[in-house]
């Protein structure tokens, strides 16, 4: 949708083919007994002017990005290493000592990075178990190129302040979350959908890179000059006839290509 929207702005003819009955994909929603649920969880915290130019045309609500972590019957504000005030003194001493005494190590993966940043005690109490729960794989199987500003770097002054007082600043990597007042998260992208040539009920069956043709389950065949794919990579690769076997095997190794979401209305 974004590619179609900006190609139109550049006066490049384009068509978006959508498998579902309605555009939006993971940004779309469904309704059950009056409750509207997004297909996946979304909140806007974008700062890029190109995004805000589109999204800010939709009335939205905002809230501060304050997150809490549950630890042994205690709520601890995120990030936990900077908010240890409510923990017993002996535990705070052990955690802070481990942080101060951490060694210089070579960082080869995310596990190394966490131990280097926070020390063994903090990493083993919080960071490593959380990583495996959230990403479903051990930290040593993750790289470090994705981190950016998403994970708070350790700072001794911040750690000590959070151990002495509950009055700590918000260190979440984004300060404000935004969500449309009406219509679910899809409302943010409706101005783009309205501007583009989008055709629904077009589910791809096969793609020929040699002939530059897309074969749809409804029987239609479409020629293209340039193809932009947004399907999960393993699904996309399996639709192409001319894919080398090593590429196909590599694509099949990518497992994090879908999301299961449990929605609760109350």
Average pLDDT over residues 208-223: 96
Paired residues of 216 in beta bridges = 204
Q: How far apart are CA 172 and CA 85, in angstroms?
A: 18
> Is the distance from CB of 92 to CB of 99 less than 8 angstroms?
no
The string of pLDDT tens digits covering residues 243-256 is: 899 999 999 888 77
Cα 35 to Cα 264: distance, rounded to the nearest angstrom: 9
pLDDT in tens, 159-208: 999 999 999 988 877 888 999 999 999 999 999 999 999 999 999 999 99
Helix (H, G, I), strand (E, B) or coil at 178: strand
Each residue's pLDDT tens digit, 228-237: 999 988 999 9
Judge if pTM exceeds 0.85.
no
DSSP string, 31-82: EETTEEEESS---B----HHHHHHHTTS-EEEEE---EEEETTEEEESSGGG
């Amino acid at each position: 949708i974004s590619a179609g929207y900006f190609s139109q702005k550049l006066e490049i003819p384009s068509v978006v083919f959508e498998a579902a009955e309605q555009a939006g994909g993971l940004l779309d929603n469904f309704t059950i007994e009056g409750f509207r649920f997004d297909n996946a969880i979304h909140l806007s915290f974008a700062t890029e002017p190109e995004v805000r130019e589109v999204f800010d045309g939709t009335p939205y609500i905002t809230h501060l990005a304050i997150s809490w972590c549950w630890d042994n019957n205690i709520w601890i504000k995120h990030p936990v290493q900077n908010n240890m005030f409510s923990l017993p003194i002996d535990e705070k001493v052990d955690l802070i000592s481990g942080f101060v005494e951490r060694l210089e190590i070579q960082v080869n993966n995310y596990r190394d990075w966490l131990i280097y940043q926070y020390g063994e005690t903090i990493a083993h109490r919080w960071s490593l178990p959380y990583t495996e729960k959230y990403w479903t794989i051990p930290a040593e199987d993750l790289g470090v190129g994705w981190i950016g500003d998403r994970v708070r770097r350790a700072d001794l002054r911040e750690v000590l302040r959070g151990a002495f007082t509950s009055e700590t600043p918000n260190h979440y990597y984004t300060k404000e979350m935004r969500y449309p007042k009406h219509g679910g998260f899809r409302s943010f992208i409706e101005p783009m959908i309205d501007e583009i040539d989008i055709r629904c009920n077009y589910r791809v069956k096969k793609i020929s890179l040699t002939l530059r043709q897309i074969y749809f389950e409804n029987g239609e065949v479409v020629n293209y000059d340039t193809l932009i794919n947004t399907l999960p990579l393993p699904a996309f690769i399996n639709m192409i006839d001319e894919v080398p076997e090593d590429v196909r095997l590599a694509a099949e190794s990518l497992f994090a290509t879908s999301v299961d979401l449990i929605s609760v209305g109350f």
